[in-house]
Structure 1
Amino acid sequence: MSDCYISYGDIKRKIRNLKKVELKIRFHVMDFSDSNNKNIWTKMNNANLIWDDFFDLHESTSKSVKYPLKRLAKMNKDELKNIISEFYYGVYYQFYKDNGMLDMSFYDPDILAQLGLPFDADISTIKKRFRELAKIYHPDAGGDEAKFIELLEQFESLHIK
């Protein structure tokens, strides 16, 4: 229990800072003063923040996010570090994707999650999981053809040879 953050306030500050870091990385926003807010929102007009998919700092909300505040409050520091690493991976993945700099070493974290894999899965882990799911969903083995086709499309979109 000593590893846990003491208050919601500590967690909220840390998570709010992650939002600012994402704005700096993806949109090069360095000034967060009120006079600059219009400029920030103009830059982000059609872009979705990774932060919005990960976090919600309201204690009671119906918004669907990966890590609501109540869940974060129950985690120890190591668990929070893992979530922050996952968040940074998502931010940089999106940054590289937006700027046309993706290479074969980055895999879409959303597809990896759909396959039941962590964001930092390597190629051998991905292939192993694909084989496991292919055995389950293959129509010749009595599996669901639609799910098998979806699995193939997901695997192909990862560009693994």
Structure 2
Amino acid sequence: MPSPCSHCRDNGLQCLVNPASGRCSKCVDRNVKCDLIVTQPEWNRLDRDKKRLQEQLRRAQEETVAAHSRELRLYQQLAQIDSREKEMFQRELASIDEVRVIEEEEQNCQSQPGILLPAASGVASPSFSGFEWNVLYSPYALDLSLEQAFAAPSGDTGQSAPNCSSSS
């Protein structure tokens, strides 16, 4: 704390100094010359405090920038997860639609007399011997590439693979 000027000291007033002008507020109000002397250690302390606060401010700004960058990165990651979630949901819907189509085809085949499904007839085509027919009815083992093979004739034997669209 600086030593008060003679006017403030003589009148028992609190001497508040403006660091820019070096004069106390009471002398400024009275418009008189202030005999206040600010010592060098007081200026040094003031400079140290100012530098300390500037450093704290700089660190706080860096932390703010880092936090903002982290926030943006988290938003981007969340957007990617949302996108993958939508994609997975669309694939699941497509899979459900495929299962519905297969179930409808099975119902149509069962409702048409004279068409025997391979699993029900116990007779397998020679070109598909060793093939596990039950995988065709599993929604987890759908392979649409086999659809063409079942629709085409199965060779020289004159037999064709079961197809609900063919008539007996």
TM over 0.5: no
For the pair shown, which has the larger CA radius of gyration, 1 or 2?
A: 2
Task: Name the TM-score class by shorter chain.
Answer: under 0.3
> So what's the TM-score if we normalise by structure 1?
0.24
Greater length-normalized contact order (CA 8 Å, ≥ 6 residues apart):
1
